[in-house]
Amino acid sequence: MTETSPGWQNLSDRAGEQTIQERNRLIAEIVLILPRVASRPGSAKLLQGILSQCKAFAAYKANRTYPR
């Protein structure tokens, strides 16, 4: 793969695979903590925050820029 622009806009296959593995690891960690978090008072707001951060991270990874 040739790079047409600077930065992380064009990931190599290896970096792409590392990104997928990182995403899968984060999803697994979130799934493990959800039952403990959901049983606590105020958990809806906390879970909403976690989901918001996951969406922001996914947008960042997809666009390589910080979401607004």
42-63 tens-digit pLDDT: 877 877 887 888 788 777 777 7
Residue 3: predicted pLDDT: 43
Q: Does the pTM of the predicted model rise above 0.85?
A: no
Q: Which of 6, 18, 13, 22 is nearest to 64 (CA)?
A: 6
| Mean pLDDT for the chain overall | 70
Give the whole-angstrom CA distance, residue 12 versus residue 31. 29
Listed by start position, the domains of the chain span 13-63
